[in-house]
Every structure is written in structure tokens, then in C-alpha cells.
């Protein structure tokens, strides 16, 4: 019995590490494509698509029809961006606003992804609140890390922004990865 428990723990940890790594790589790619401050195209269209593809790379080995994860991630992010996008254009960028705003976007992302997960586990409802929490983790990490980039320009800025994006997405994935490994525990 201890041997089986050890194997399950290793599978859980392996999945979690893959999830965090894939999402972090997606975040780095996303950050490299984004110029940061006023690149609304990248902010609206790329996160759901790039992160969705990165996470699909892991999920395709665990759930059937995993390609729908990409579609759900794209649509969840895209739909979640509208209310916050309007508020962003008013020029208010307070830290609390960004934390709440990002959490709401991640809630939208979580709802869309829940539509995929509910076909694979009865406990999928936990995905939405965990996604909301992961959005708060992402926003806090991103705001903290990027606050040090004010005097950085050129290629160094792009590299730092990409790494900041990767680290922030990894923080988010650390949270969702625990939940997803738990949800899919019977699948492996």
C-alpha cells in the first residue's frame, strides 16, 4: 500500500511540475510577444491562446478532446477582458484594481475551462474559485516583479518582461496545477 501511495504522489508531483513548466514557458512566449504597457492586441488575443496551447501540451495526455482546452482558454480570456478593458482605458491602474480586475478575468477563464473539465470529473466546480485565486497570485506576482522594470529599456526590457510574465504565469499554474492534479487523480 505504501508503494502505491508513493507512486500516486510521484504522478501528482510530475503532473504538477509539467503543468507549471508548460504554463511558465507559455508565459515567457507571451511576454516576449507583448511590448507591455499599451499593447492591447497582445493583451486581448494572445494570453488565452498561448497559455491554452501550452497547457494543452500537458492535458492532451490526461483528458480526451483536450484541444477544446485551447478554444475554452481563448474564449474565456477574451470574454473576461471586456469589462476590465473598459476600466483600463479610463486610466485608473491602482494595484487593488488590477488585483480584482485580473481575478475576474481569471474567473472568466476558469468558467470556460470548467466546461471542459466537467466532462472528466464530478468535482470540476472547484476549478472556478481556484482559477480566481490563481488570478490574484498572477496579478500580485506580475505587479511586484514588473515594478522593478521602470528604468529598463530595449532588448533587456523585452527579456525582463518575458521572464516576469513566465514567473507570474508559473505562480498562477502552481495554484491551478494542485487543483487539476487532484481533479485528474483517477485518470492516471
Q: Which three cell numbers stand for residue 146?
A: 514588473
pLDDT at 84: 57
Please, what sign has the CA dihedral across residues 181, 105, 26, 164?
Answer: negative
Per-residue pLDDT in tens (0 to 9) along the chain, 188 residues: 566 888 888 999 999 999 999 999 999 999 888 765 566 777 788 999 999 999 999 999 999 999 999 999 999 999 988 755 545 544 455 677 778 888 889 999 999 999 999 999 999 999 999 999 999 999 999 888 887 776 777 777 788 888 999 999 999 999 999 999 999 986 54
Q: In whole angstroms, what separates CA 88 from the centre of its chain? A: 20
Between CA 159 and CA 91 the distance in angstroms is 26
Give the per-residue pLDDT at 148: 77
The DSSP string of 91-158 is T---HHHHHHHHHHHHHHHHHHHHHHHTTT-TTGGGHHHHHHHHHHHHHHHHHHHHTT-TT--HHHHH
pLDDT, residue 90, reads 47
CA distance 92 to 141: 19
Amino acid at each position: 500500500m505504501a508503494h502505491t501511495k508513493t507512486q500516486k504522489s510521484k504522478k501528482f508531483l510530475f503532473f504538477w511540475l509539467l503543468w507549471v513548466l508548460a504554463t511558465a514557458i507559455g508565459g515567457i512566449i507571451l511576454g516576449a510577444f507583448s511590448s507591455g504597457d499599451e499593447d492591447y492586441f497582445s493583451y486581448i488575443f494572445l494570453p488565452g491562446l498561448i497559455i491554452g496551447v501550452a497547457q494543452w501540451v500537458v492535458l492532451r495526455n490526461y483528458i480526451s478532446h483536450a484541444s477544446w482546452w485551447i478554444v475554452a482558454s481563448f474564449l474565456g480570456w477574451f470574454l473576461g477582458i471586456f469589462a476590465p478593458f473598459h476600466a483600463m482605458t479610463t486610466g485608473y491602474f491602482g494595484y487593488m484594481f488590477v488585483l480584482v480586475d485580473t481575478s475576474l478575468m481569471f474567473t472568466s477563464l476558469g468558467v470556460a475551462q470548467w466546461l471542459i473539465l466537467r466532462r472528466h470529473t464530478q468535482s470540476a466546480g472547484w476549478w472556478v474559485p481556484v482559477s480566481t485565486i490563481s488570478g490574484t497570485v498572477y496579478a500580485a506576482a506580475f505587479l511586484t516583479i514588473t515594478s522593478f522594470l521602470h528604468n529598463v529599456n530595449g532588448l533587456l526590457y523585452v527579456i525582463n518582461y518575458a521572464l516576469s510574465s513566465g514567473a507570474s504565469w508559473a505562480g498562477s499554474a502552481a495554484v491551478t496545477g494542485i487543483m487539476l492534479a487532484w481533479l485528474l487523480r483517477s485518470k492516471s
